[in-house]
Amino acid sequence: MNRLDGKIALLSGAARGIGAETARKMAAAGASVVVGDVLADRARETAKEITDAGGKALALTLDVTTEASWAAAVAAATKQFGKLDILVNNAGIFLGKDLMEATLEDWNRLVAINMTGVWLGTKMCAPALAESGKSSRHGSAIVNLASIAGLVGSQLDPLYSMTKGGVTLFTKSTALSFGRKGWKVRVNSIHPGVIETDMGTQTFASRARQTGSNDFEAARGVAMKQHPIGRLGVAEDIALGIVFLASDDAGFMTGSGMVIDGGLTAQ
């Protein structure tokens, strides 16, 4: 189950957090992984950790907001490993500001990474994914990191929510578009609840600041209470879902969203 033997995966924003854990899990499942991030040193450390554990990994500097950076990443991945089977559009940022205090500069940066980055990654990787999909029973796979904030509204960050809502529907539209073209590339999204990564920490700080309390631990407690399962998520919770969606076990899934949120949106 959930094996990725012989598959080549390119992950954006994989130096740390959910992306890094997904790279580790994919390598353990038999994939060769390309760890792309603007944090070049940290990406190298993550890749080294994977190779030290016996996996196959390549680190590269990837800025998802530029076409040239994606072109270089696809070229490096296919040169090193010969093909591309999986793309994980994971890079993303959280703003943590109310819509009334956000600036146009904030918005443009958010859109560039959270939306333009996902579209460019899809566009630039699609030819290689479609090619390798021809010789795979269930095709190639793209997994986009959306959020529960792309399904329901966000009190803390309405602009982040707008970008993730865009990723949710872009995922479905891309699945339809590739299906119409006859390309065997499945496209699905993941919708995490609050996950304890650097970004998770940023959400607690933002909650504290926006409620005027400055009590980080209290803000973390509020976030935890919103999850009926009784805890916050960890990167592994999400990485395992991404591995499943990328694997042939999800062979009949495209245009879908997988919610991994400890019951938060069940309420």
Ligand X SMILES: NC(=O)c1ccc[n+]([C@@H]2O[C@H](COP(=O)([O-])OP(=O)(O)OC[C@H]3O[C@@H](n4cnc5c(N)ncnc54)[C@H](O)[C@@H]3O)[C@@H](O)[C@H]2O)c1
Side-chain-side CA neighbours of residue 56 (13 Å):
15
- The yes or no reply on residue 64 touching ligand X (CB under 6 A) is yes
Interaction between residue 262 and ligand X (CB under 6 A): no
Minimum CB distance to ligand X, residue 135 (Å):
29
State how far the Cα of 215 lies from the Cα of 218, in Å rounded to an integer: 5
Told to judge if 160 belongs to the known catalytic residues of this protein, a careful annotator would answer yes
Ranges of beta strands (E only) in the chain are 8-12, 32-37, 56-61, 86-89, 140-145, 185-192, 257-260
**Per-residue contact flags (x/-) with ligand X for residues 105 to 144, judged by CB under 6 A:** --------x-------------------------------
Min separation Cβ 46 and ligand X, Å: 9
Q: Which of 81, 160, 178, 183 is catalytic?
A: 160
Query: Edge-to-edge, what's the strand order for the sheet holding 185-192?
Result: 56-61, 32-37, 8-12, 86-89, 140-145, 185-192, 257-260
Q: Binding pattern to ligand X, positions 157-196, x when CB under 6 A?
A: -----------------------------------x-xx-
3-class SS at 155?
Answer: coil
Nearer to ligand X by Cβ, of 61 and 131: the residue is 61
Taking the complex as a whole, how short is the minimal distance between the CB of residue 43 and ligand X, in angstroms? Answer: 8
Which residue is associated with the tokens 């333009």? 116
Q: Contact between 17 and ligand X (CB under 6 A)?
A: yes
Q: Which stretch binds ligand X (CB under 6 A): 31-39, 78-86, 177-185, 245-253?
A: 31-39
Of the candidates 2, 28, 38, 210, which one interacts with ligand X according to CB under 6 A? 38
Contact pick of 8, 62, 87, 242 for ligand X (by CB under 6 A): 62
Cβ proximity of 219 and 204 under 8 Å: yes
User: Phi and psi at residue 86, in whole multiples of 5°?
Assistant: -135, 135
Of 90, 132, 171, 206, the one binding ligand X by CB under 6 A: 90
Phi then psi dihedrals of residue 154, to 5 deg: -120, 125
- Cβ atoms < 10 Å from Cβ of 203: 24
The DSSP letter of residue 116 is: I
Q: Provide the binding-site residues for ligand X, judged by CB under 6 A.
A: 12-13, 15-19, 37-39, 62-65, 90-93, 113, 145, 147, 192, 194-195, 197-200, 203
Catalytic residues: 160
